[in-house]
């Protein structure tokens, strides 16, 4: 039996990446819509209801409209937009989130793909909150730098335009109203009383991401060392194919620097920890198009269809 898969929004960055990742999967039949038909609701409705599983790679409102077009109770949906990430009727798509999340994803017909920044932050903070190291009352500071592909086709075109070759050399902070679209899910999924103080930046590279969470030791619920935090992470994420806990940061760093692109084209997230007497820094490294988007979507698809979870994915 082949599962029928439809990518609604197949011409965008995430949709194209999903197509690339699935094109050689023999157990799948990829349904494709002509570009000139993608806004024809009747044609789209036919594809949505014919598929066993649909990926929504659309803006929020368009994702909500596509869900309304599904009239059967068999089509499973994975939404890569922010539209449903805080909706309790949808399952949050981080299989490693807790011991029961993978089973929830497997039994769900509606799964949302986490945001790339949110994935790095949530996977770094969840074990610390669950083990009463970080309080849900705590105001956490987080900074992230991502490749420009995270901004979709529009930003890719700007960065890769020949006339802009020497224009965007520096890291560029954005969302400076301090209201980034990933903040609601960061707060909701972790049960925080306040959203983190989060500042993202875009770098002059296509893919890759570092999400940096800053902790003040005096504000932690327990007196804990880097070694103990690493042990906690290792236990929390034990046997997880796509999570790597870095214990030797001397070998991990490149002459003291951390490269944002070393997880590119994988579904891996790496968590490393750094400390001084007063502070602790937790860094998540991932591919913003991998574990931060299309890779996570495919991982969820594998779970929902009962396929091998790591099929088509690199760890």
Nearest to 106 by CA among 315, 308, 311, 313: 308
For each of the domains in the chain, give its residue range(s) and CATH number, in order of start: 3-113+293-304 (3.40.50.720), 116-287 (3.30.360.10)
Question: Residue 29 forms beta bridges with which residues?
Answer: 4
Q: Which helix (H) or strand (E) holds 22?
A: helix 13-22
pLDDT tens string, the chain, 315 residues long: the values are 799 999 998 778 898 899 999 998 999 999 988 877 777 889 899 999 999 999 999 999 999 999 999 999 999 999 999 999 999 999 999 999 999 999 999 999 999 999 999 999 999 999 999 999 999 999 999 999 999 999 999 999 999 999 998 899 999 999 999 999 999 999 999 999 999 999 999 999 999 999 999 999 999 999 999 999 999 999 999 999 999 999 988 889 999 999 999 999 999 999 999 999 999 999 999 999 999 999 999 999 999 999 999 999 999
- Tokens describing residue 258: 């951390």
- Burial of 145: CB neighbours in 10 Å, binned 0-12, 13-18, 19+: buried
Q: 2 with 28: CB under 8 angstroms?
A: yes
The yes-or-no answer on residue 116 being catalytic is: yes
Q: 258 with 153: CB under 8 angstroms?
A: no
User: pTM of the prediction?
Assistant: 0.96
- Torsions phi, psi for 76 (to 5 deg): -90, 145
From 57, 116, 142, 263, active-site residue: 116
């Amino acid at each position: 039996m082949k599962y029928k898969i439809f990518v609604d929004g197949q011409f965008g960055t995430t949709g194209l990446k999903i197509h690339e990742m699935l094109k050689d999967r023999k157990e799948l039949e990829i349904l494709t819509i002509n570009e000139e038909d993608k806004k024809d609701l009747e044609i789209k409705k036919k594809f949505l209801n014919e598929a066993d599983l649909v990926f929504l790679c659309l803006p929020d409102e368009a994702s909500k409209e596509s869900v309304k077009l599904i009239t059967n109770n068999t089509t499973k949906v994975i939404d890569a937009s922010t539209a449903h990430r805080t909706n309790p009727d949808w399952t949050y798509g981080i299989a490693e989130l807790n011991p029961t999340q993978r089973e929830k994803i497997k039994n769900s017909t509606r799964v949302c793909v986490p945001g790339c920044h949110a994935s790095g932050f949530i996977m770094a903070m969840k074990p610390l909150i669950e083990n009463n190291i970080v309080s849900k009352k705590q105001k956490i500071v987080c900074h992230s730098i991502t490749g420009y592909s995270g901004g979709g086709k529009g930003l890719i075109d700007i960065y890769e335009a020949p006339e802009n070759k020497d224009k965007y050399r520096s890291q560029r902070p954005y969302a400076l109203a301090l209201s980034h679209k990933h903040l609601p899910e960061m707060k909701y999924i972790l049960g925080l009383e306040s959203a983190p103080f989060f500042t993202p930046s875009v770098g002059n590279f296509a893919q890759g991401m570092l999400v940096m969470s800053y902790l003040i030791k005096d504000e932690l619920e327990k007196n804990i060392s880097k070694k103990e935090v690493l042990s906690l992470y290792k236990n929390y994420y034990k046997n997880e194919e796509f999570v790597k806990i870095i214990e030797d940061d001397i070998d991990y760093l490149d002459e003291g620097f951390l490269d944002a692109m070393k997880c590119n084209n994988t579904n891996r997230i790496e968590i490393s920890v750094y400390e001084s007497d007063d502070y602790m820094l937790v860094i998540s490294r991932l591919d913003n198009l991998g574990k931060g988007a299309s890779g996570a979507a495919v991982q969820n698809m594998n779970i929902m269809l009962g396929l091998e979870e790591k099929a088509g994915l690199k760890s």
